[in-house]
């Protein structure tokens, strides 16, 4: 049933939205037709005219490479002009901006799915995104056996452990240089402070690492079944522990505070599932269930604090600042980004604004406080830029903005039903482990956007397929 829904409904919604766009990008001919340049020269507010002149140069230049970003800059320029210069209703420049807005807006069919703007490559991007969900369906339909799952677990674990090792080495020996690309000397990163290993954002690395850790837990369970109480004699078990320890350490060294929190939850879940499966519960074992993961993560954290690395001090300092701000009634920027996302979603709550539309449409609904906070970074910037918001830092809200409640119901209600059925039902331990990993990522998506990273989305869908394949085996 899930495969049928994904294979038909989602592509149909996307196809309809592509044929029903809401806006188009501004081009030079539009400005000439509206006598833009002469009206700008004769404007009463010279400062506002200069601001808009600079912005439209960026809009037209960006239009050549990315129509969606060009539209986002226009929306940002419109709202920044309104908040910064406070024009009257009949102000000449405000009238001009409203005329441009009306000119690029389509009179689309409101009761059908729509797309904020259609640009080259949107279908390719959709197919790349959609193929990840097809991967999960194919894994289930292919009826993978326990041997295939065992082999897949090794591939994921070793891959992640190697990347974790690379990231930790980077933390100790990386020296920022303008002439050197940050990621292995191959790729550039938008913000050098936040990358880890081959990931441009530390929180997304943490999500990937936590998913991979559950594969390590599956391999540990396999070794326990083979060796029992003699588990420490297994060289394979020791190697798995080394890989898992490297992955756990990498979450600390990435500097991701949310990653550390969800790592803690994950270790408790893994420990709980192991104890529940292999031991009868009593008070002593309940105490061990609490003590073992606490001692394990506490040891990693103490080693992390004692290492000669600035990441630990930075994490603690940021945490203290945020706690102090919250106690004084000042919430993190993320809170205001979520409010903005809700504002965007409320405009089209049922059908959404379309696939990958959030970065384009967000500036039109952005609060003045978020705009103010974004522009703080401009004071220290070496090169001027327009700080646009690409993501809501909450995947659930962003999915709502783009797919609407209809898309959320089609995509996630069946998935959530399967998660509940497997975790609460009498299924094998492997399926419960992998579904627990999926649950952690769903929770992580409430405070960040891990599924927007291709590697995380691919591993998430792969893990979901593995969980269902495992559940189809003997319970």
| pLDDT score at 362 | 95
pLDDT > 90: what percent of the chain? 52
Listed in sequence order, the residues at least 6 apart from 159 whose beta carbon sits closer than 8 Å to its beta carbon are: 212
| pLDDT score at 386 | 74
| pLDDT score at 401 | 97
N-to-C CA span, the chain: 21
Q: What Å distances lie between residue 252 and 1, 28, 306, CA to CA? A: 40, 50, 12
Burial class for 379, CB neighbours closer than 10 Å (0-12, 13-18, 19+): exposed
Listed in sequence order, the residues at least 6 apart from 178 whose beta carbon sits closer than 8 Å to its beta carbon are: none
Q: How far apart are CA 343 and CA 348, in angstroms?
A: 10
Q: How far apart are CA 363 and CA 187, in angstroms?
A: 28
Listed in sequence order, the residues at least 6 apart from 361 whose beta carbon sits closer than 8 Å to its beta carbon are: 72, 75, 116, 344, 353, 401
Reply yes or no on whether the pLDDT at 301 is more than 80.
Answer: no
The residue-averaged pLDDT of 426-449 equals 93
Comparison of pLDDT for 179 and 334, the residue scoring more: 334
The secondary structure element, H or E, covering residue 116 is strand 115-117
pLDDT-based confidence at residue 319 (cuts at 50, 70, 90)? confident
Comparison of pLDDT for 381 and 403, the residue scoring more: 403
| Closest CA relative to residue 399, chosen from 431, 333, 352 | 352
Q: Taking a C-beta distance cutoff of 8 angstroms, is the pair 428, 457 a contact?
A: no
Dihedral pair phi/psi, residue 116, rounded to 5°: -55, -50
Reply yes or no on whether the pLDDT at 296 is more than 70.
Answer: no
Number of neighbours of residue 337 by Cβ within 10 angstroms:
22
Q: Could you report the per-residue pLDDT of 60-109, keeping only the tens digit for each?
A: 999 988 999 999 999 999 999 999 999 988 899 999 999 999 999 999 99
The DSSP string of 183-248 is: BTTTB--S-TTT-BTTBSSHHHHHHHHHHHHHHHHHHHHHHHHHHGGGGGG-HHHHHHHHHHHHHH
| pLDDT score at 179 | 59
Q: How far is C-alpha 57 from the chain's CA centre?
A: 31
Mean pLDDT (the chain, rounded): 86
- Among 2-11, 26-35, 235-244, 392-401, where is mean pLDDT lowest? 2-11
Comparison of pLDDT for 218 and 471, the residue scoring more: 218
Is 0.75 surpassed by the pTM of this model?
A: yes
Q: How far apart are CA 114 and CA 16, in angstroms?
A: 7
pLDDT-based confidence at residue 285 (cuts at 50, 70, 90)? low
């Amino acid at each position: 049933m899930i495969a049928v829904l994904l294979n038909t409904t989602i592509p149909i919604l996307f196809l309809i939205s592509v044929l029903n766009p809401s806006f188009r990008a501004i081009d030079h001919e539009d400005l000439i037709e509206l006598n833009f340049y002469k009206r700008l020269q004769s404007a009463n507010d010279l400062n506002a005219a200069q601001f808009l002149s600079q912005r439209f140069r960026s809009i037209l230049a960006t239009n050549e490479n990315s129509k969606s970003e060009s539209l986002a800059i226009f929306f940002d320029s419109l709202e920044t002009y309104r908040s910064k210069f406070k024009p009257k209703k009949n102000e000449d420049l405000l009238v001009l901006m409203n005329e441009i807005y009306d000119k690029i807006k389509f009179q689309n069919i409101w009761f059908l799915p729509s797309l904020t703007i259609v640009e080259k490559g949107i279908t390719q991007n959709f197919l790349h995104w959609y193929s990840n969900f097809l991967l999960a369906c194919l894994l289930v339909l292919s009826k993978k056996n326990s041997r295939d799952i065992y082999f897949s677990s090794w591939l994921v674990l070793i891959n992640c452990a190697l990347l974790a090792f690379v990231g930790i080495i980077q933390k100790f020996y990386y020296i920022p240089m303008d002439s050197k690309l940050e990621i292995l000397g191959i790729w550039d990163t938008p913000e050098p402070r936040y990358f880890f290993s081959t990931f441009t954002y530390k929180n997304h690395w943490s999500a990937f690492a936590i998913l991979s850790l559950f594969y390590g837990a599956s391999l540990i369970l396999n070794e326990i079944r083979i060796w029992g109480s003699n588990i420490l004699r297994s060289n394979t078990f020791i190697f798995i522990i080394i890989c898992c320890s490297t992955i756990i350490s990498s979450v600390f060294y990435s500097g991701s505070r949310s990653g550390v929190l969800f790592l803690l939850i994950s270790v408790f879940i893994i420990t709980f599932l192991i104890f529940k499966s292999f031991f009868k519960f009593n008070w002593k074992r309940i105490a061990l269930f609490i003590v073992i993961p606490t001692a394990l993560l506490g040891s990693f954290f103490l080693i992390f604090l004692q290492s000669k690395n600035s990441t630990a001090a930075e994490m603690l300092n940021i945490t203290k600042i945020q706690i102090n701000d919250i106690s004084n009634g000042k919430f993190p920027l993320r809170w205001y980004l979520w409010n903005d996302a809700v504002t965007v979603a409320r405009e089209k709550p049922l059908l959404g604004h379309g696939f990958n539309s959030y970065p384009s449409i967000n500036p039109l609904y952005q609060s003045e406080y978020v705009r103010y906070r974004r522009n703080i970074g401009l004071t220290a910037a070496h090169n001027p830029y327009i700080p646009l918001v690409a993501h809501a830092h909450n995947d659930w809200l962003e999915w709502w903005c783009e797919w609407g409640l209809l898309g959320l119901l089609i995509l996630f209600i069946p998935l959530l039903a399967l998660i509940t059925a497997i975790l609460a039902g009498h299924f094998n331990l492997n399926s419960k482990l992998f579904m627990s990993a999926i649950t952690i990522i769903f929770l992580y998506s409430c405070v960040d956007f891990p599924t927007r990273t291709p590697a995380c989305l691919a591993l998430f869908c792969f893990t979901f397929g593995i969980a269902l394949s495992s559940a189809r085996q003997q319970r």
